[in-house]
Amino acid sequence: MQCRAGRRKPNKRVVENNSMSHGTLHINLKEVIMTNKIETIVNSENDISSDAEEFYRKYWSEIGEINEVSIARKRAIINKFFPSGLTNKKVLEIGVGGEGGLIHQLFKDNQVHGLDVSDSAISNCRRFGLAVTKANLDTDVIPFEDDYFDIVFAFEVFEHFCNPQHAIEEIRRVLKSSGNFICSIPSTYTYHWPRLFYPELFHLENYNEFLMINGFRPTHVNDWLMNNQYAVHSVPRDVSSWSWYWHAEKMGPSDAQGYFDYGIYFWEKRNEMGLRTKPIEAIDMFRKALEISPKNEQIRLFMAHATIYRFINNDQTEFPILLDEIYARLMDPLGENKLDYLARLLLMNLEANRLGFRIINEVDYETLKTKLSQASESGGILDEINREEKINSCLASHL
């Protein structure tokens, strides 16, 4: 970490009378919103309407037969993620499209079902003998019971949702514990579509974290279809796919360690000044871990530390209770693991100082730090405390 002097002035955008100017370009925001249209910039002669059902009715209305390229792509995906094949599995595909998606290649040996928003796509799929239900996962529920499917596919789908959070929650609901969720999103480097609704979501790191927050364990992510890497399946040389692919597992109801690990991941996300950037996400993960393992002392200590960020936002119930637990343990003559509690109290005080208040005064802080340093096993935690002190010093130098 480096201390950097000076502060960058924020950019300002001036919006007046429902319009925005940029150089010689003048945009009337009200007019754009009222037209209910978004102009495409690649590979389409038609405008994209905000009415998804109407758009996809037109999009799939001319599909007749499944072409060889599409079949090769489907086989490549199945062979990549399931090299031994799939049999006797319950499989759901969201957004099957007019060519039947992957379930077209799986329905003979598995129990498959598809969802799509387009009547014409559904009609085409039914001609192929596929069971497909109409559903818009921006608002609809998936018409199956909890923990039903072994595998859920969703390829190039999430960038079309206005409410991706609802969609991922429904997917998680119907997927079995440790079930497989295979999905892809188009690269924002080459496509404009993912930038329409939630532009920050469709980047590798952000989408990976989106899966983590919603109870999935990403086991593999890559762009293996990029640059025609599935040509082994006889895809023409002029075909390529610029997409990112995920294989994720649904985390089980007893995976406290998994949620705790995610909490640590988000807790350690910082900016160049050393300030934490995702403490609220960390709190959410620690909370899920605590719900599973409420007596785990390590999780409770990190939860106590993280809830400082709730405390400064006027949620003043949880943090004082957890802080009192630490004080009680340190005062208990029979208490165990006091070193962990003392170290966490010192780190929490440094975090509080950074946010504008104190938990303990300076004299007590130095006294307790000296006491901690006398313990033979305190070397690593003292290094962490010293790093946090340095961050505070750097921040203070910019005030």
> What's the order of all strands across the beta sheet hosting 25-28?
15-16, 19-22, 25-28
Residues 347-397: pLDDT tens digits? 999 999 999 999 999 999 999 999 999 988 887 999 999 999 999 999 998
Q: Are residues 162 and 224 in the same domain?
A: yes
* Segment 233-240 mean pLDDT: 42
Residue 35: is its pLDDT beyond 60?
A: no
Q: Are residues 86 and 115 in the same domain?
A: yes
Domain interval for residue 342:
256-397
Q: Which is higher by pLDDT, 240 or 210? A: 210
Residues 60-74: pLDDT tens digits? 444 556 667 777 888
Any idea which of 216-230, 263-277, 376-390 has the lowest mean pLDDT?
A: 216-230
At 120 the pLDDT is 83
At 11 the pLDDT is 40
- Is residue 5 one of the residues assigned to a domain? no
DSSP letter string over 252-312?
PTT-HHHHHHHHHHHHT-B-TTS-BS-HHHHHHHHHHHHHH-TT-HHHHHHHHHHTHHHHT
At 71 the pLDDT is 79
Interatomic CA distance for residues 272 and 283, integer angstroms: 22
Q: Are strands 175-186 and 149-155 parallel, antiparallel or unpaired?
A: parallel
- Is residue 38 one of the residues assigned to a domain? no
- Is residue 1 one of the residues assigned to a domain? no
Q: Are residues 156 and 233 in the same domain?
A: yes
3-state DSSP call for residue 71? Answer: helix
Looking at 224, 250, 276, which one is the last position of a domain?
Answer: 250
Q: How confident is the model at residue 319 (pLDDT cuts 50, 70, 90)?
A: very high
Residue 249: is its pLDDT beyond 80?
A: yes
Q: Are residues 278 and 235 in the same domain?
A: no
Task: Provide the 10 A C-beta neighbour count for residue 278.
Answer: 18
Residue 3: is its pLDDT beyond 70?
A: no
Q: Which residue from 271, 340, 282, 274 is spatially nearest to 306, judged by alpha carbons?
A: 282
Number of independent structural domains in the chain: 2
Q: Are residues 79 and 180 in the same domain?
A: yes
* Segment 263-287 mean pLDDT: 97
Q: Are residues 233 and 260 in the same domain?
A: no
Token pair in block for residue 358: 């104190």
Residue 46: is its pLDDT beyond 50?
A: no
Q: Which is higher by pLDDT, 262 or 79? A: 262
Residues 121-152: pLDDT tens digits? 888 888 888 999 999 999 999 999 999 999 99
Q: Are 248 and 222 in contact (CB under 8 A)?
A: no
Residue 82 belongs to domain with CATH number: 3.40.50.150
Residue 340: is its pLDDT beyond 60?
A: yes
